[in-house]
Structure 1
Amino acid sequence: MDLTLIVVLVIALALFFDFTNGFHDTANAMATPIATGAITPKKAVALAAILNLVGAFLSTEVAKTISGGIINEDPTTGVQIMPEMIFAGLMGAVVWNVFTWLLGLPSSSSHALFGGLVGAAIVGAGFGAIDYGVLLSKVLLPALCAPLIAGISAYMCTKLAYSITKRQNGVSPKRGGFRYGQIFSSSLVALAHGTNDAQKTMGVITLTLVASGLQTAGTGPHLWVVATCAIAIALGTYTGGWRIIRTMGSGLTDVKPAQGFAAEVSTASAILTSSHLGFALSTTQVASGSVIGSGLGRKGAEVRWGTAGRIALGWLFTLPAAAIIGGLAAWLTHTGAVGVGIVAVVGVGMLLLFWYLSRKNHVGHEDTLSDIDNSGAAVNILSKKERRARAKADAKAARKAAQEAMDKEPDNS
């Protein structure tokens, strides 16, 4: 297959993956402030999109981990990764990403990408194509440790927040400031997300250019790669991803402003630290761990362990499922241009099917608040005059119903 054509196809698919990463992971930053009413859904996703765009320019350490770390691209070892393999791996990641979005399941876009690439590389070039030391130290271990650390941090921060603002001398605690603080903390998560997740696509495109001989091995992403990836993830973030926002915002636990603030600060801290160290972290796992930890930290809060179990199963299956799809796609691409064409047609067909199914069960921004939040918002919208008028009408209706009941009673005199 023509080298230029396959490189263009890989770059296009990589940017589409970046787009799906954006709408898949919007919930990581904005689910909790939306659930608590700190910010309206549409304003939240717009803010997240801008900060994802900015964050993508702040670091390239994670991109270097992917472009020159996990996949061996060393002529001395005899391992050669072809653009067709990268195309196959990306297809595995994209298909799994959109499928889990359809289910409203906050799975890891990062692990979908790693799984797809690893599966395609093993099928296409053998087990020697993977640097298992880097995979273990910078992907698998952070996947296990980061959600736990973020959850413990969120638990402690939630306990601290409620301890500081507890009722004193019979005076009700004032925690309204946390609602406004959530705007800052969720913005920090969105910025952190841009520093970590956008770089993964930068790394894939850079790996493709290196594999094609269009860039020297060991060099970082070009400026145009950084810019296009930043724009793609920002556009994806702006589209919303309301299904997963609903799951993260009220599916795990009913989030109050203080615990939401604690969860977001913990999430942002873990992601920013990982980006600095070059760890290709799953921001979804970190955010989920923080939300669960904050739920455990608030007295009287209920953690919905059934939903948490579904999310955990999604984490467990993401990497192997994407690897299987990527491996099958890589096996097909061995046939040359025909195989690449089959992978492209089947992949696009599956994505269209998922989109069609999503339209039959539409979830929009109006569905992201829990029933309690919606009822509270409805009350707040009414003015004092409207509330007095409604109260008078309710009282009049009650008196009328009582009079009618008395009139129906038999006269025993």
Structure 2
Amino acid sequence: MDSDEHGSRLAAERQRLLGFGLGTAHPLGGAAWLDDAGNPDLERPVQTWITARMVHVYGLGLLLGREDCRPVAEAALAGLTGPLHDGERGGWFAAVLADGSPEPPAEKSCYAHAFVVLAASTATLAALDGGRALLEQATRVLEDRFWDDEAGLCRDSWDRGWSVADGYRGINANMHAVEAMLSAVDAGADPVWRQRALRICRFVERQARGNHWRIPEHYDASWVALPDYHRENPRDPFKPFGATVGHGFEWARLMLHLEAALGTQAPDWLAPAAVSLFDRAATDGWAVDGEPGFVYTTDWAGVPVVRERMHWVAAEAVAAAAVLHRRTGKERYARLYRTWWEYVDTALVDRDAGSWHHELDVHNQPAATVWPGKPDLYHAVQATLVPRLPLAPMPAAAVRAGSTG
């Protein structure tokens, strides 16, 4: 993975991906959901999570020297400072409709806010106008509204007026909060965010270790696990039933980023936890039904539940294998990396219409049961960068410092 030839292939794929989303700007401001051909689907609401991811992606592109990424990043950023922001009550709506009104129920979600922090971090490092102010504003909201210092975790969502917190607690939002916290510190935010990220990771490590390294994703307000949550709706795109294979990989990578960021202050459990999470995800997820690819979810015994192949799972798998190889030097991670990139290259990369197929069926044919279209580029672009970057700082800061992937 460290060869010049492979680096050139990753760079070429990244350029192709960035080209796919150049038309993502939505007339309202923000980034549109992209269809299979990369055209904005204007019938869908403008999503804060997609908009923030596109600020991040095209901010990375700008840092890598592509000036055509600047207007894309600026247009997406304008969505976060404009229609997606609740100027009356603070924070960001999950989405807005075609008339600019918030999509009901107009909730404020940690998942979306975590991506706003990530977007603001990258915008700051890319010197986009308004990036620094957005970072200060977004971290303040994350701290005041979502961070629960007693639990050492983030709450999941509030109503529009910040008066009622949802009783649900979730690991997905906390996972992206960890990424956002580490990125924010790299962009100049208070280093206390790294310690908060560590507290979140410690909770996840304990939960996973007690559950054969399958991560319980869903909890009640007291942080008691809900193992049957969404059993009747296993294909939910954000809160599926059971263990989510891709999150095992993603948490493994984030724990190694955190370990590197903490340096000599890092606890000794982070790397072993990353290895165990990675191994469980690989064992449960890869080609377990006789076909190549990663299943989406399993039950608590590791039996596949949703067998469709999501592009983001493969993206996180190759990224995790790369960082584990960099951290340990063990050849087995390099072998898995090569195997999985071959799968990405042959099954997921769409050389006709562009980007990657976001979902494949059990026979690795394009499908749309969970993810219609090709909404954004976040996972795929990062999969072309992370394998060639240091473990710390996070990608935007690493690229700004001169690492090019």
User: In proportion to residue count, which structure has more strand?
Assistant: 2
- Structure number with greater Rg is 1
Q: TM-score, normalised by structure 2?
A: 0.25
User: In proportion to residue count, which structure has more helix?
Assistant: 1
Where relative contact order (Cα < 8 A, 6+ residues apart) is larger, the structure is: 1
